[in-house]
Chains A and B, each alone.
Chain A
């Protein structure tokens, strides 16, 4: 297995695979963070998570078109505007959905599954009606293309680095919001004991609405970032939903730290295995690994200790 490469090649393999793994890790974290907030903290199974991402992607596409047509001189920077707009659009839709659907279903988690599944179908059809069934291409500014050469044989794609930095930034924001702010404290209080939180004067309805909105908004940012590496079509969201749930469940649904640990485990094993085995085989073994660990630890890698 190793003898076909020289020593220096092996070193660069390990380095580049390490980077590939980190990029995959960032992608998984971006995908799963929004869901971890919604599923982990609120107990809502959001099957429309992928569609919220795609909303972000379409907003990015529209922004790119807008800049191309009206402000070509500012095109290099459009991506940051697009991500902001993607967050706002998904956040707004999330708040709306919470208001007219989710809030009636808090006591029935399985019904949220069905309702959001229906929502995902509705959104897909909506995208198809508005943007057409074909995939749309999002043009990237030139500086985001190409790769950065660390040495003769080691090169890192620039958009990969971009995704990593973005992930770091978003994770930090979510961390500050959930664990270092008054708002986060209220969210966690509501999660632990809804009636009691209400009794001490927390407006649980408002907390629920905006938490759901923020989860969706993060999905929108993820979708915006994925236009760099993936496809944007009405059904592209479906590509992500299984992996996203895998990451969140494997990490332990209620723990944001667990989500990150889980994304790291999955991405590193996937990317290492991919190099020495085939792509499909790597996926199978990764899944077996996850199933095996979940059999030993049904609550996932990390679980909150709560008295029941």
Chain B
């Protein structure tokens, strides 16, 4: 599309023109005002040549970033919320003056739920569009597909989904939780508060549920408790009668379910129909894969009484979150619900803005160097901080599913939990 040399030439040219024209207009109006404005703008917007030494898509007024999610295909159901959150964050940042005085513009690409397409589009965003940062991906498969591209062309990806861990890249900031932050705190809670002794692990059959259950099993066994069953079903599976029968026979204290996507809907509907009443607390159900988004499809009456361990719930009671939920609904409709990943996606643009401003530059290497230690006191989840390993310090919360589709927060870890993507003894 554009090549870097052209870009720089045109930029230099437009700088002169714009400032020249601006000066004339302002001078005609009132000289003092113009001086004030000019000095203000000089402070807000440092020269492009200073803040962009590597030919990124930065002009005097704008900076271009990429949004890369599936808006078609099977993952569109989940990723729509992330796209909405990222656009909201970008709008809000622009409304408060942008980043280094530049308005954020975005180029949105569709990964189409297809991992090679993700890789191809990320290359386009980095090489052709020269985006200064990319917010995107959801499944681990899509992230693994784009990772080599981001590393080769030195881009910056803000990845929002809670995931299995075992990864750390200089080119990725992980704004969701890695496995240990979610699982261990959640299990400790059911053991301590509910006296759980036996667990039935259940998941969809791919890397995330399997790794998560591995960590869960290790932790359960470390506590001297028992796993009475562990089972996986293919993605998209809709018949859970057999496993429900097994659960009825084994009578575990906890059903630990990491089923994903449409299977979730089938699982909870059938669980309810089979007469396992979750609000009766035995067996209780703990999940790390059902957010408010999924409950829309499952139906509140089918999941009422289940517990979920994650870092964010729409019902969190703090001023940051109230403002976030309000803004989200104003922009995308009042009936919308906000899940854990949607909030994590919202953090991406804000964390990037903070890092750019700390670095005083859009250059990827400088942004990366500035990232560890970045704090966000305005995050809807409360407070977050980027760790050296590019994951976030965050709290784990346990929510109790309500009939209206919202979670009631019943537990919150006292401290922020340190991210640990390579947990020793859990692999």
Contact = CB atoms under 8 A, between A and B. Distances in A.
Interface string A116-158: 0000000001001000111111111000111101000101011
B262 A236 contact: yes
A13 B245 contact: yes
B274 interface: yes
Given A134-B293, A145-B272, A13 B249 contact: yes
Contacts of B275: 146-147, 149, 155, 157
Nearest to A278: B231
B299 A229 contact: no
Given A134-B296, A136-B297, A160 B241 contact: yes
B239 A135 contact: no
Given A139-B299, A232-B297, A279 B232 contact: yes
B301 interface: yes
B74 interface: yes
A137 B241 contact: no
A279 B246 CA distance: 12
Interface in A229-272: 229-236, 238-239, 270-271
Given A147-B273, A155-B248, A280-B232, A133 B241 contact: no
B17 interface: no
A147 B265 contact: no
B205 interface: yes
Given A17-B242, A135-B296, A157 B270 contact: yes
Contacts of A145: 272-273, 301
A113 interface: no
Contacts of A274: 242-243
A229 B269 contact: yes
Contacts, number: 141
B168 interface: no
B37 interface: no
A16 interface: yes
A110 B80 CA distance: 35
B71 interface: yes
Given A157-B274, A160-B273, A229-B269, A135 B262 contact: yes
Contacts of B423: none
A233 B261 CA distance: 10
A283 B242 contact: no
A234 B76 CA distance: 10
Of the listed residues B76, B242, B301, the one surrounded by the most CB atoms of chain A closer than 10 A to its CB is B242
Of the listed residues B77, B234, B241, the one surrounded by the most CB atoms of chain A closer than 10 A to its CB is B241
Interface stretch (A20-28, A69-77, A78-86, A187-195): A20-28
B383 interface: no
Contact of A137 (B73, B238, B248, B299): B299
Contacts of B261: 231
Contacts of A134: 77, 80, 293, 296-297
Contacts of B296: 134-137
Given A145-B272, A229-B266, A230-B265, A283 B249 contact: no
Contacts of A146: 272-273, 275
Contacts of A222: none
A117 B390 CA distance: 43
Q: Summarize B's interface: helix, strand, loop or mixed.
A: helix
Interface in B239-289: 239, 241-243, 245-246, 248-249, 261-266, 269-270, 272-275
B236 interface: yes
Given A136-B297, A137-B299, A235-B74, A279 B234 contact: yes
Contacts of B299: 137-140
A5 interface: yes
Contact of B273 (A19, A135, A228): A228
A173 to B, nearest CB: 24
Contacts of B232: 278-280
B189 to A, nearest CB: 27
A20 B242 contact: yes
A106 interface: no
Interface string A1-23: 00001000100110011011001
B139 to A, nearest CB: 15
A27 B275 CA distance: 20
Given A13-B249, A279-B237, A280-B232, A231 B273 contact: no
B422 interface: no
A171 interface: no
Contact of B245 (A139, A144, A226, A275): A275
B262 A159 contact: no
B310 interface: no
Of the listed residues B72, B239, B262, B299, the one surrounded by the most CB atoms of chain A closer than 10 A to its CB is B239
A140 B293 CA distance: 19
B269 A228 contact: yes
B210 to A, nearest CB: 11
B77 A135 contact: yes
Given A17-B242, A144-B273, A230-B238, 15 more contacts: A20-B241, A24-B239, A133-B80, A134-B77, A134-B296, A135-B265, A135-B294, A137-B298, A139-B299, A146-B272, A153-B249, A159-B269, A229-B238, A230-B265, A279-B231
14 contacts: A9-B249, A17-B242, A19-B241, A133-B80, A134-B297, A135-B265, A135-B296, A136-B297, A137-B298, A145-B272, A157-B274, A229-B238, A234-B76, A235-B76
Task: Please give me the 4 A-B residue pairs with the lowest Cβ-Cβ distance, nearest first.
Answer: A135-B297, A231-B265, A20-B241, A231-B262
Interface of B: 71-74, 76-77, 80, 205, 231-234, 236-239, 241-243, 245-246, 248-249, 261-266, 269-270, 272-275, 293-301
Interface of A: 5, 9, 12-13, 16-17, 19-20, 23-24, 27, 125, 128, 132-140, 144-147, 149, 153, 155, 157-160, 226, 228-236, 238-239, 270-271, 274-275, 278-280, 283
